[in-house]
Amino acid sequence: MSEGKKYGGLDRFRMIAAILVIAIHTSPLASFSGNADFFLTRILARIAVPFFFMVTGQFVMTDYLYDNDMASGRLFQYIRKTALVYGLAVMIYVPVGIYAGHYKSLNIISAIRMIVFDGTFYHLWYFPACITGVLFVYLMSRCMGRKGMMAIAAALYAVGLFGDSYYGLIKDVPILSVMYEFMFQLFSYTRNGFFFAPVFLISGALTGRKNHVGKKPGQIFGLTVSFLAMTAEAFTLHYFKLQRHDSMYLALIPVMIFLYRLLLSWDKKPSRILRNIAMWMYILHPAVIVAVRGGARVIHMTALFVDNSLVHYFTVTFLSGLWASAISCFISGKRKINPTGRAWIEIDRAALRNNAAFLRSKLPKRCRLMPAVKADAYGHGAVLIAKELTRIGVDAFCVACALEGVKLRKKGVKGEILVLGYTHPEEFFLLYRYRLTQTVIDYAYGVQLNEYGRRLHVHIGIDTGMHRLGERSENIDFICKFYHMENLKIDGLFTHLCAADSFGRKEQAYTNLQAEEFYKVVHELQKRGYSCPKLHLQSSYSILNYPELAENYARAGIALYGVLSTEEDTEEWKELKPVLSLKARIAAVKNLYAGESAGYGLGFTAGHNMKIAVVTIGYGDGYPRSLSGGIGTVLINGCKAFVIGRICMDQTIVDVSEISDVKAGDEAVLIGKSGEAEISVCDIAKQAGTITNEILSRLGARLERIVV
């Protein structure tokens, strides 16, 4: 997440929500005042579960509501995780349920109802409600817009209201009472994944968008008014004994929207540990209730720890929090790895999506992006980039070799993956096993692919003048023979425009000639009765400079990552935003006195007393050694620090004499922004005498890559 958008307020409120859920199940004020306890547990505490649904809506469902072409990877990852937690919770409470006699009259129908709707213990209904709710919202997102979805969700909530707090209004209406009694054979309550969850999932997704967060005073006023309305509504329903249950109120929806907006303005750092503690408090507190009551009987202190509802509540809350903290710390300690501990790459999700949207805007609707994620997505992290692009509807990628495609498949990347380069015949099995599409690089290679004996998907490479890979365009008879090879399934044809990065007269003429040669092949094949399923000519520069050559795919490469090969080209297309930042830590700050040398080979000798810092990155990470000796700079505290001496494999020494308050552990920026200062990859490429493609592609595998 970006620095400007932190969700620590949500993490802190998770703890409050978990404590409120415990209150629902312990009735803290019951020993003192029935009305006060009703207010706490049946009004105030009813904001807890809708809050959990809204968080899920924001972080799981937002993309589905705002892009109907979204793939479902994140959704099903969430469902798998939730189902796993639900299964674990079920196992925890099976012994308790048996002891309490919950399963005495269990049959197949009641077991299904319990698992799918009601939960196997009284608080576990939340997990199946999450699963069914997000699935239902996802299915709606595939066939209607946000307004239609919200209308249906609101209508379902209204139906749920009359099976919950407003049940007394319809229980004596013949048709409605029969309908609801039938519903209650399927599930015990309407506060479930169909009637209760969708409206809050959608509200969370909509409210969580940055432009939906309003001014804090307005949110406080709206929350106050709507909460007072909900309080009046709840006490009125309670007074007239209309409630069958008390989870759903009409005013609960505006209460939650105003509350959620207010929490989004609570600017705190996110806390995974608080998230985990809140989750485990929710799961464990009924077991703690049983333990406290049993323990109180054993020590003959039931009057204090059970009959006194407030002491009972605080005891359960304290012990639940204690156990949840212990479990969360154990889990965090087992798996905690700091990705920003040494040197790392930050991937800007918003910039990546911006670039994809801009490139799509340059293409007709029939033309789809086939991003080049070769060379580890130009150093950005192929799996990470492919999964982010999958979430915005991209379902085709191209790589340089079969092993790059295999890596994507093993990490769950679906869709078409085209291998642009050579695959050795001994590795043809990888093409078949991992459903990769191979480029036919010439006629002899096509024969080898066919002789493998298993049906392989291929694109035919057409050499129209780059003279690298592909069958020469004039060899139309050889190209036709590919269609007669029984083991080749031809899915497309493509060429590569080698001079599309320039608008010089010579380069334009050559690009147009290449396009003409390619279309001659296509037309001749069609004339002879052969199909040409998918065509593609464009890479990054030709998308920008020759949009008229768009066909079925466009192989966006360097432009997708927010830069072009040179500084001049990048400056021309300001709509593109850099996706990658490269950062490292300062390991040590030292004094270097006049006459002393630093680094290998005495490459730098101080002419005066100075202060130097050791940065935890070197040429082993892909930082160019050619930036040694004062050529390169890094940013520390928004100021430039020049590289001194020779860049080492794992460290780089910089001059920080003019930068105040530099200490070990501080962040150094090698590519990206620090304060108002910025070093672009174009700057580094220019200093190193190369192009941005090389700088990015050589960034090392040991650099951690994280999405912000």
- CB-based contact 469:459 (threshold 8 Å): no
Query: For residues 131 and 125, what is the distance between their CA atoms, to the nearest angstrom?
Result: 10
Task: Tell me which amino acid residue 118 is.
Answer: D
Residue 161: beta bridge partners?
none
Q: Residue 407 corresponds to which amino acid?
A: K
Q: Side chain identity at 596, as an amino acid letter?
A: E
* Chain position carrying tokens 């998907």: 457
- CA dist 707 → 81, 100, 377, 413 (Å): 20, 47, 14, 17
Helix (H) or strand (E) holding 581: strand 580-592
Picking from 579, 572, 532, the residue whose alpha carbon sits closest to that of residue 556 is 579
Q: For helices 252-264 and 8-26, what crossing angle results, to 10°? A: 140
Q: Torsion over CA of 107, 113, 119 and 125, rounded to 10 degrees?
A: -170
Annotated active-site residue 374? The verdict is: yes
Distance, in Å, from the CA atom of 613 to the CA atom of 598, rounded to the nearest integer, reads 11
3-state secondary structure of 377: helix
Single out the residue of 200, 76, 65, 61 nearest to residue 129, CA to CA: 200
Asked if residues 679 and 553 have their Cβ atoms less than 8 Å apart, the reply is: no
| Rounded Cα gap, residues 492 and 437, in angstroms | 10
Q: With CA atoms as reference, report the closest residue to 577 among 369, 388, 348, 346.
A: 348
Classify 280 as helix, strand or coil. Answer: helix
Per the CB < 8 A criterion, the answer to whether 269 and 10 are in contact is no
- Return d(Cα 591, Cα 263) in angstroms, integer: 46
Contact (CB, 8 A) for 516 and 497: no
Measured N-to-C along each axis, helices 34-42 and 8-26 cross at an angle, to the nearest 10 degrees, of 140
Residue spans of alpha helices (H) in 57-173: 62-66, 73-100, 108-113, 126-141, 146-161
Q: Any residues with CB less than 8 A from the CB of 116 and at least 6 apart, and which?
A: 128, 132
Cα angle vertex 273, ends 413, 330, to 5°?
90
Helix or strand run (H / E) with residue 207: helix 197-207
Specify whether the CB–CB gap between 702 and 622 falls below 8 A.
no
Q: Which of 5, 411, 489, 600 is catalytic?
A: 600
List of long-range contacts for 473-481, beta carbons under 8 Å, 24+ apart: 473/517, 473/518, 473/520, 473/521, 475/443, 476/521, 476/524, 476/525, 478/443, 479/521, 479/525, 480/525, 480/528, 480/530, 481/443, 481/446
Indicate if 600 belongs to the active site.
Answer: yes
Q: Which two tokens stand for residue 303?
A: 């009057």
> What span, in angstroms and rounded, lies between the C-alpha atoms of 635 and 631?
14
For residues 583 and 636, what is the distance between their CA atoms, to the nearest angstrom? 10
**Are 218 and 243 spatial neighbours (Cβ–Cβ below 8 Å)?**
no
Close Cβ partners of 415 (under 8 Å, ≥ 6 residues apart): 390, 394, 395, 396, 397
Instruction: Catalytic residue, from 249, 374, 546, 561: name it.
Output: 374
Q: Phi and psi (nearest 5°) for 562?
A: 90, 5
SS3 letters across 402-461: HHHHHHHHHCCCCCEEEECCCCCHHHHHHHHHCCCEEEECCHHHHHHHHHCCCCEEEEEE
* Dist. CA 262–CA 642, nearest whole Å: 44
The residues annotated as belonging to the active site are 374, 600
